[in-house]
Chains A and B, each alone.
Chain A
Amino acid sequence: MFISVLDHLKITPKRLFPSTAVLFIVTLFCCQTASAVTLKMAFDADPVSLDPHEQLSEGTLQFSHMVFDPLVRWKQNGQIEPRLATHWQQITPTTTRFFLRKNVRFQTGNQFTAEDVAYTIRRLKRSADFRAMFDNISSVIVINKHTVDIRSSHTNPLLLNIMTYVFPMDKVFYQGRDQIVKFGNSFASKHASGTGPYIVKEREPGVRMVLTRNKDYWDTKSKGNVDKIILTPIKNDSTRLAALLSGDVDFISPVSPIDIERTKNSKGVQIMTLPTGRILLLHMNEKRRKEFRDVRVRRAINLAINQPLIVEKILKGYAVPAGQLSASKFLGHVKGLQPEHDVSKALELMKQAGYEKGFRISMMAPNNRYMNDDKVAQAIAAMLGRIHITVDLKTLPKAQYFQQYDERAADIMMLGWQSDTEDSNNLYEFIIACQDAESGLGAYNASEYCAPSINTDIKLANRETNPEKRARIMQRIEVKLHDDAAIVPLYWQYNIWAAKNNLHIDRIVNDQNHPFLGDLVIDEK
């Protein structure tokens, strides 16, 4: 299946000629000395579509960073870096002006302008998956060719975080045929034109995708030297690793923790890990079980679970034990909240609550969604056994698990959550807010715990622009959750990549797992 941008271009052979001629001469001279650098990579998923707005998923965002460019993006150190927006300035409390990069062209040859940004944000607001994030943005006003004003309906402390999701699309190319279709065909799902470092050459969904370097890429300062990328999705952990170790691919992710030692010992292969904000936690359903309505029982469960042991034994140290939802780089993080483990105190609390003999509960966890999720669930079941809570554990593949999750089918359910905005508030909104089907608040709150004060604080934190005040509000939520023992935080997972030694992946990976492949440098052997 070949997708050619050229088919949809209004380029006449005449206009094409000079560039092909130059290319031909260049290749004549270069080919003897420098060979094309090809990157073969295998990740666990591929983008479901070429439409960057069809699904908000890791695969889509990885793809967007290859074929498109965001206005701004996250650096490895958690700072925001300008891309298609060169700088910005807040002009009123609810309006921010973005100045756009000049002399940038789309892969079709069209000029990138403020119109494209306005068009893209309007399209994002039509996408089922992205709509909620862009709810705050009330309008986008084009000031001139390279300046755009973004207005929010109220003060918006996370505007820049959200702008990392704006990958300007070629308005001239898409307009008129830009429906976002989830379960069927659309123009945008088969054709792409962005400003990014790579152009899609070939795609067989689920099997492979071939991209080549965009010769006219605006970022000439980038040291990236990869001319061609062949992306193969490999779901099976051991097949993926074998592909790297046998030399069939150069770059893989993720790597299962039990394979890390073995991989490190292999010649010519490097491992790269980064801590992330992805939190794993347990929800104790208070609607299903009256026992869980007693804070002493919830506290006992928190005390019975030994997070550091789980991290050490099952995740081989590739996670950080958690005593709260917010990882240390998030504003809501409270320094003092560490996971506690004390079985005798837990037993004492169970006794006080009147459950000295314990009780029987059901628990569900996925078995192919998070790193070693089923083994972690088994360990937890065993740990709860020590305070006489008998656990009937059921682990399911993710396809079935999240259906069960929506039905709140067990007393304890496991969940992992990565904040879309790299901010604590996103965690609270989805995991712990009181449930509201319309707005989506509390959609993953399987504990049915509902504290009105937390909902108020979430709203406040969504508008407060002073970072210190905002941190205090969110830390208040964190402390409240801890005092009520509303959930059981487990750990923050690591992202793990492995690559051949001549790839400088350490500079291009980040904790969102969107490797900036445009900047990847491969040493030629």
Chain B
Amino acid sequence: MFVFLLRRLVQAFVVMIIISVISFAIQNKLGDPVLQHVSMTVAPAERAQIRQDLGLNDNLVVQYWRFAKKAIHGDLGTSYYYKEPVLDVIFKKLPATFELAFCAIVMVAFIAIPCGILAAIKPKNIISRLVVALSTMGISIPIFIVAIFLVYIFSIQLHLAPSFGRGQTTDVFGLWESGLFSKDGLRHLMLPSISLAFALMPIFVRLIRAEMIEVLQSDYIRFAWSKGLNTRRIYFIHALKNTMLPVITVGGIQAGTLVAYTILTESIFQWPGMGFLFMDAVSRVDTPLISAYLIVVGGIFVVTNTVVDLIYGLVNPTVKLANHGL
């Protein structure tokens, strides 16, 4: 276990270094930060001077070296727009994204798992058919169409939910600005988390259904039937547990999709989280913030996948962590 975690730590470190190099290499293609921060009427000579002062004219290796030296002390730079250390800016927005993702994941877990199981156990049932049909549709409809549709129905026509923003937040232990504890916060969470869940749901429904069907045909399940075990025990203890293994793996990989979808969802709903921050940073050419976001997301990826592997060990005791993966 210890060796495993140590390896993962090294892996996270390498991933972050690679990401930082890549984010530096693409910097010049993103646009000129100076142009974003001065008026169009500022003379070219003056702009050149600002570039020079910011050190943007140095060659990339020099710039990277300067960045790396500071990064070792935990300073990834200062955002051009927010004028604060980039990590502070990102971590301030983390709760919003985390809560959004959390609600979506809860929704996926409570809807996708029962639906997938139902579709596998009773394939002829009308509800199962509907679920399978809907999941096919869900995979093929882009998230922004779903989101715009939801806004149109629930905000503009029915006035049931607000169309943008996070609403009122409450301070939890002075660490966390949470929207989960007020009615207004929850109302604001509704549409974004539903659209995010809608994007993630279909793949899980289909995966659980397919896995479950396969497991139900395996020898040990047949043996269980012939042994006369009760139905519920066979379905929900013996079959489901083995069905979940690949689902957990895919879940870990889907964390990436989740990050990508939060960027979309947050931009559509003006949700003040990390994804929205990133889109904003790109449009403002806030390069320190862009690099830091990519590095942090890289870190989150490694952490999620480590957690997934740990859960894997819990669900299936035969898996030996130290030999598993890098």
Q: Which residues of A contact B233 (CB under 8 A)?
A: none
In the bound assembly, the distance between CA atoms of A394 and B173 in angstroms comes to: 51
In the bound assembly, the distance between CA atoms of A368 and B280 in angstroms comes to: 13
On whether the beta carbons of B268 and A437 are closer than 8 Å, the reply is no
- Asked, given contacts A56-B39, A440-B44, A440-B46, whether A400 binds B31 with beta carbons under 8 Å apart, the answer is yes
On whether the beta carbons of A440 and B41 are closer than 8 Å, the reply is yes
On whether the beta carbons of B285 and A399 are closer than 8 Å, the reply is yes
On whether the beta carbons of A132 and B163 are closer than 8 Å, the reply is no
B254 within 8 A of A: no
In the bound assembly, the distance between CA atoms of A239 and B164 in angstroms comes to: 7
On whether the beta carbons of A238 and B148 are closer than 8 Å, the reply is yes
In the bound assembly, the distance between CA atoms of A208 and B155 in angstroms comes to: 21
On whether the beta carbons of A399 and B284 are closer than 8 Å, the reply is yes
On whether the beta carbons of A246 and B156 are closer than 8 Å, the reply is yes
Chain A nearest CB from B57 CB (Å) reads 14
On whether the beta carbons of B41 and A420 are closer than 8 Å, the reply is yes
In the bound assembly, the distance between CA atoms of A185 and B80 in angstroms comes to: 9
Interface residue from A129, A242, A403 paired with B155 (Cβ < 8 Å):
A242
B38 within 8 A of A: yes
On whether the beta carbons of A128 and B50 are closer than 8 Å, the reply is yes
What is the interface size of chain B, counting residues whose CB is below 8 A from a CB of the partner?
Answer: 46
Q: Which residues of A contact B36 (CB under 8 A)?
A: 399
On whether the beta carbons of A236 and B270 are closer than 8 Å, the reply is yes
Interface residue from A183, A204, A245 paired with B37 (Cβ < 8 Å):
A183
> Which positions 178-211 of chain A face chain B at CB distance < 8 Å?
182-185, 189, 204-208
In the bound assembly, the distance between CA atoms of A248 and B165 in angstroms comes to: 10
A483 within 8 A of B: no
On whether the beta carbons of A183 and B54 are closer than 8 Å, the reply is yes
Interface residue from B54, B277, B283 paired with A399 (Cβ < 8 Å):
B283
On whether the beta carbons of A443 and B155 are closer than 8 Å, the reply is no
Chain A interface helix/strand/loop/mixed:
loop
Chain B nearest CB from A369 CB (Å) reads 11
On whether the beta carbons of A48 and B41 are closer than 8 Å, the reply is no
On whether the beta carbons of A242 and B151 are closer than 8 Å, the reply is yes
Interface residue from A184, A235, A400, A437 paired with B83 (Cβ < 8 Å):
A184
On whether the beta carbons of B83 and A185 are closer than 8 Å, the reply is yes
A438 within 8 A of B: yes
Chain A nearest CB from B92 CB (Å) reads 9
On whether the beta carbons of B156 and A242 are closer than 8 Å, the reply is yes
A294 within 8 A of B: no
B175 within 8 A of A: no
Chain A nearest CB from B290 CB (Å) reads 11
- Asked, given contacts A239-B269, A402-B32, whether A397 binds B283 with beta carbons under 8 Å apart, the answer is yes
Interface residue from B35, B45, B280 paired with A206 (Cβ < 8 Å):
B280
A364 within 8 A of B: no
A232 within 8 A of B: yes
Chain B 47-73: CB-based contact to A (< 8 A → 1; otherwise 0): 010100010000000000000000000
Q: Determine the residue in chain A with the shortest Cβ distance to B280.
A: A206
Q: Which residues of A contact B3 (CB under 8 A)?
A: none
On whether the beta carbons of A129 and B41 are closer than 8 Å, the reply is yes
Chain B nearest CB from A489 CB (Å) reads 18
Interface residue from B81, B159, B283 paired with A235 (Cβ < 8 Å):
B283
In the bound assembly, the distance between CA atoms of A182 and B83 in angstroms comes to: 9
Interface residue from B35, B148, B165, B282 paired with A403 (Cβ < 8 Å):
B35
B40 within 8 A of A: yes
> Which positions 363-405 of chain A face chain B at CB distance < 8 Å?
368, 397-400, 402-403
Q: Which residues of A contact B50 (CB under 8 A)?
A: 128, 182
In the bound assembly, the distance between CA atoms of A376 and B277 in angstroms comes to: 30
> Which positions 82-134 of chain B face chain A at CB distance < 8 Å?
82-84
Chain B nearest CB from A514 CB (Å) reads 15
B positions within 8 Å CB-CB of A: 29-32, 35-46, 48, 50, 54, 78, 80-84, 148, 151-152, 155-156, 159, 162-165, 267-270, 272, 277, 280, 282-285
Q: A206-B272, A242-B148, A243-B163 are in contact. List 6 more A-B contacts (CB 8 A).
A: A57-B39, A242-B155, A243-B164, A246-B155, A430-B41, A443-B41
A-B contacts, 23 of them at CB < 8 A, read A55-B38, A128-B46, A128-B50, A129-B42, A133-B41, A183-B78, A184-B78, A184-B83, A204-B272, A206-B81, A208-B165, A239-B151, A239-B269, A242-B164, A243-B164, A246-B159, A246-B162, A246-B163, A247-B159, A398-B283, A399-B282, A399-B283, A440-B42
